[in-house]
């Protein structure tokens, strides 16, 4: 990021100085824009409901977010491994998370998990997003439930 040596030369006109500064600004802005666009293409994570996972053939291993409701009576803990089923009422996706789940994680509640699908159809979560508030229902989950016709507003509030 050092300035070109020529800039230090005396006798730069006002116009040249202005041009040098504008060129510098332009280069940084162009680089930043490129960076943002590349990152937006490669680094964003798509959100899927269980129905979409079944219908859209999500590539194995691709980082995604899965959102829905933790199916009743599906949460089984074996040591530090948690198995549960995420449902949107229409379809179910089995999921696994190793570690300690957030306090407000429970059956019948909304959940958003980050992770990827395995070849066996099991979703391995690397992170289960916590909520701070028992009333909070992720907007993505609400939309997914609406899409599958399972949305009952009185449950959420």
Partner 1 sequence: MSIELGHFALILAFAIATISTIGGYAFWRSGNRIALVLSQGAILQFILVAVAFAALIQAFVTSDFSLLLAVNNSHSLKPLIFKISGVWGNHEGSMVLWITILVAFGAMVAAFGRRLPSDLLTLVLATQSLLTAAFAGFTLFTSNPFARVFPAPLEGKDLNPILQDIGLAIHPPLLYAGYVGFSICFSFAIAALISGRIDQAWARWVRPWTMLSWTFLTLGIAMGSYWAYYELGWGGWWFWDPVENASFMPWLAGTALLHSALVMEKRNALKIWTVFLSIITFSLSLLGTFLVRSGILTSVHTFASDPTRGMVILSLLALVIGGAFFLFALRAASLRQGGLFAPVSREGALILNNLFLATAVGAVLVGTLYPLVLDALVGTTISVGAPFFNLTFGALMAPLLLVLPFGPMLAWKRADIVSAAQRLIGAAALAVFLAILISALGGVSISLAPIGLLLGFWVAFGAIAELVERSRLGRIPLGESMRRLIGLPRTAWSTAIAHFGIGVTVLGIVATTAWETELVTTLNPGESAELSGYTVKFDSFDQVPGPNYIADEGRFTIVAPGGSTRKTIADRRTYVASGIPTTEAAIETYGFSQVYLQLGEPLENTHVVRIWHKPYITLIWLGTILMALAGVLSLTDRKQRIGAPRRAARPVAEPAE
Stretch that binds partner 1, among 38-46, 83-91, 115-123, 148-156 (CB under 8 A): 38-46
Residue 92 DSSP class: E
> Binding residues for partner 1, how many (CB under 8 A)?
49
Extract the tokens encoding 12.
Answer: 């730069």
Q: Do residues 87 and 69 lie in contact, with contact meaning Cβ atoms separated by under 8 Å? A: yes
Q: Does 59 sit near partner 1 (CB under 8 A)?
A: no
The count of other CB atoms within 10 Å of the CB of residue 118 is 13
Residue 66 to residue 46: CA distance in whole angstroms: 9
Stretch that binds partner 1, among 54-62, 115-123, 138-146, 148-156 (CB under 8 A): 138-146
CA distance to 86, 88, 112, 128, per residue, from 156 (Å): 17, 14, 15, 19
Residue 4 DSSP class: P
**77 — phi, psi (to 5°)?**
-110, 130
Per-residue contact string for residues 96-135; x = within reach of partner 1 by CB under 8 A: --xxxxxxx---------x--------------xxxxxx-
* Nearer to partner 1 (CB atom), residue 40 or residue 119: 40
Is 132 annotated as belonging to a binding site?
yes
Chain residues binding partner 1 by CB under 8 A are 1-3, 7-8, 12, 14, 17-18, 20-21, 24-25, 28-29, 32, 35-36, 38-40, 43-47, 65, 77, 79-80, 98-104, 114, 129-134, 136, 138-140, 143
Per the annotation, binding residues are 132, 136
């Amino acid at each position: 990021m050092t300035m070109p040596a020529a800039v230090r030369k005396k006798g730069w006109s006002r116009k040249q100085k202005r041009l040098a500064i504008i060129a510098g600004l332009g280069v940084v802005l162009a680089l930043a824009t490129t960076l943002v666009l590349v990152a937006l293409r490669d680094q964003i994570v798509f959100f899927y409901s269980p129905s979409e996972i079944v219908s859209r053939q999500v590539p194995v291993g691709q980082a995604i977010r899965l959102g829905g409701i933790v199916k009743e009576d599906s949460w089984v803990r074996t040591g530090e491994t948690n198995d549960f089923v995420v449902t949107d009422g229409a379809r179910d996706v089995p999921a696994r998370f190793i570690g300690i789940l957030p306090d407000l994680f429970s059956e019948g509640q909304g959940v958003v998990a980050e992770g990827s699908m395995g070849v066996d159809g099991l979703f391995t979560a690397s992170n289960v997003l916590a909520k701070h508030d028992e009333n909070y229902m992720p907007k993505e989950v609400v939309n997914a439930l609406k899409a599958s016709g399972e949305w009952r507003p009185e449950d959420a509030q």
